[in-house]
Amino acid sequence: MNQKNEKIILTGDRPTGPLHLGHFVGSLVNRVKMQDECKQFVMIADMQALTDHASQPDLIKESILQVAFDYLAVGIDPKKTTIFLQSLIPQISELTMFYLNLVTWNRLKHNPTVKQEIKQKNFQESVPAGFMIYPVSQAADITAFKADLVPVGDDQLPMIEQTNEIVRKFNRIYKKDVLVEAKALIPKFARLPGIDGNAKMSKTLKNAIYLSDEPDILKKKVMSMYTDPTHLKVEDPGKVEGNPVFTYLDAFDSDKESVQKMKDHYAKGGLGDVVCKKRLLEVLDNFLAPIRQKRKDFQKDPKHVLDLIFKGSEDARKVAAKTLKEVKDVMHMY
């Protein structure tokens, strides 16, 4: 079990491109904060990325460094946080195999997150088996490090629930509390809508603002953002609720009083979308500028960044090996 008062966090991202603002409000900001309060493991989930990108190994390979650059640029410190590559931890795959015997196929099919992502990715009847079992793989990720906190968006809550089902069943069958149940840590802004008005910002939907976006790209994206389609004239009252521009301002503008005044003015009428977008552009550009610069600094020495990942993976492997040994001992798999 975890040491008294020590909280362990496991979180991560799939390397299918650079990270976006949705990742920041959904988890990155928590990781920067929590690394000073807990023992934290951050995983670059390259094996999980293969579940729907098996035909694009080069994309995953190239994206590993992109994700690492983003981690370091936002302030995740490898001296405080163990950053590791999933494929370099073979114990995770072995735990996945053991856990698969504790979960029914019917349970996997009815996992709400899996069902939603199958629909979103338009798999229909051609769902890769690896994709279907990724909730079990995710349970292995979490339990390998005995994480008791997992920062996730609310759409990932079914994954944490399934992890805890596996934990309880394993401990019950083998009559020892080897594995630890995890608690979901939901951020204040669990997700950001896409710039197209879609409920979720996503690489797949191509509606994201990336942490690495240059000023000209950022401007193009912000000025083309979806707002209120019924707000046709400046003098018309506009809808604030569900308007991505105001959702982003709530998340990133520190001047809350000014944002509220802008909301009231927009809702009453007399405030145009362009004015609101220009305010958002200024806020986001100020927020992203130092991240962009730090990212460019790390990009100058990719070998150093890879060395940090390899060192973190070595440390993570030792922790996962200890958990696997405990698992195999109670299973009498000597």
pLDDT digits 0-9 by tens, 162-190: 999 999 999 999 999 999 999 998 877 66
Kindly state whether residue 308 falls inside one of the protein's structural domains: yes
Kindly state whether residue 203 falls inside one of the protein's structural domains: no
Same domain, 98 and 29: yes
Q: How many domains does the chain have?
A: 2
Same domain, 149 and 13: yes
Same domain, 310 and 262: no
What's the CA gap between 95 and 99, in Å, rounded? 6
CA neighbor of 102 nearest in space, from 160, 167, 147, 47: 167
0.85 exceeded by pTM: yes
Same domain, 157 and 220: no
Residue 4's pLDDT band, with cuts at 50, 70 and 90, is very low
Q: Which domain holds residue 61?
A: 8-192+302-330
Same domain, 28 and 132: yes
CATH number assigned to the domain comprising residue 219: 1.10.240.10
Residue 321: Cβ-neighbour burial (10 angstroms; 0-12, 13-18, 19+): middle
Same domain, 182 and 114: yes
Same domain, 233 and 326: no
What's the CA gap between 327 and 322, in Å, rounded? 9
Kindly state whether residue 2 falls inside one of the protein's structural domains: no
Same domain, 21 and 167: yes
Kindly state whether residue 89 falls inside one of the protein's structural domains: yes
Residue 311's pLDDT band, with cuts at 50, 70 and 90, is very high
CATH number assigned to the domain comprising residue 152: 3.40.50.620
Same domain, 139 and 255: no
Residue 271: Cβ-neighbour burial (10 angstroms; 0-12, 13-18, 19+): buried
pLDDT digits 0-9 by tens, 229-288: 999 999 999 999 999 999 999 999 999 999 999 999 999 999 999 999 999 999 999 999
Cβ count within 10 A of residue 8:
20
Kindly state whether residue 39 falls inside one of the protein's structural domains: yes
Residue 138: Cβ-neighbour burial (10 angstroms; 0-12, 13-18, 19+): buried
What's the CA gap between 16 and 130, in Å, rounded? 17
Where do runs of H (alpha helix) occur along the chain? 21-23, 29-34, 46-53, 57-74, 90-100, 105-109, 112-120, 129-132, 134-144, 157-173, 215-223, 244-252, 256-268, 273-299, 302-330
What's the CA gap between 259 and 242, in Å, rounded? 15
Same domain, 116 and 255: no
Measured between alpha carbons, how far is residue 295 from residues 23, 83, 100, 289 in Å? Answer: 16, 16, 39, 10
